[in-house]
Amino acid sequence: MQEKCIPLHRLPIGCTGRVKELRAKDDTRRRMLDLGLISDTVVKALCQSPSGDPTAYQIRGAVIALRSEEAANIMVEIF
């Protein structure tokens, strides 16, 4: 099966993905890493805010809301 990488903000609600690449730089990258968004971390898209953005994700047992700009820099593989 071909690997399918998409930016996290395109991960459909209710779906789960595995982090493959973090494209953010510097401080933002550090902050993402501190959330545990390292390679192979499993992320689940939980729900969208009433106006469509941000989206809440389940990351290592915590629920974190990310705006689409930030989520766009996180590449995940759907499974």
Partner 1 sequence: MGGDNYDFVIALAGNPNTGKSTIFNRLTGLKQHTGNWPGKTVMNARGYFKHNEKSFLLVDLPGTYSLLANSPEEEVARDFLCFGNPVVTVVVVDATCLERNLNLVLQILEITKKVVVCVNLLDEAKRKRIKVDLNKLSRILGVPVVGTTARDGQGLTELKEVINKISEQSLCCNPVQITYAEPIEKALDILQPVVEKLFKKQISSRWVSLRLLENNKKIELALNTNFAGNLLENSALKKARLEVQNFFNQQKMTEEEVKDSIVTGLFNTAEQIGQEVLEVESEDYHQFDRKLDSILMSKKFGIPVMLALLGVVFWITIKGANYPSELLARGFFWLEGYLTALFLASGLPDWVNGIIVTGVYRTMTWVVSVMLPPMAIFFPLFTLLEDLGYLPRIAFNLDNFFKKACAHGKQALTMCMGFGCNAAGIIACRIIESPRERLIAIITNNFVPCNGRFPTLIALAMIFLVSSIAAPWQSLGAAVIILMVIVLSVVITLFVSRILSKTILRGLPSSFTLELPPYRKPQVGRVIISSIFDRTLFVLARAVMVAAPAGALIWLLANFTVNEVSILNYCAGFFDPFARLFGLDGHILLAFILGLPANEIVIPILIMSYLATGSIQEFDSLEALRDLFIQNGWTWLTAVCMMLLVLNHFPCGTTLFTIYKETQSCKWTVISFLVPTLMGLLLCFLVSQSVFLFSSLF
Residues 9-28 that bind partner 1 (CB under 8 A): 22, 24, 27-28
Per CB under 8 A, the list member of 6, 10, 15, 46 interacting with partner 1 is 46
| 74 contacts 62 by C-beta, under 8 angstroms | no
Count other C-beta atoms under 10 Å from residue 14's C-beta: 9
Per CB under 8 A, the list member of 1, 2, 3, 52 interacting with partner 1 is 52
Q: Which is nearer to partner 1, 70 or 76 (CB)?
A: 70
The answer to the question of residue 34 lying near partner 1 (CB under 8 A) is yes
Q: How far apart are CA 68 and CA 9, in angstroms?
A: 5
Name the one residue in this structure whose structure tokens are 């789960």. 16
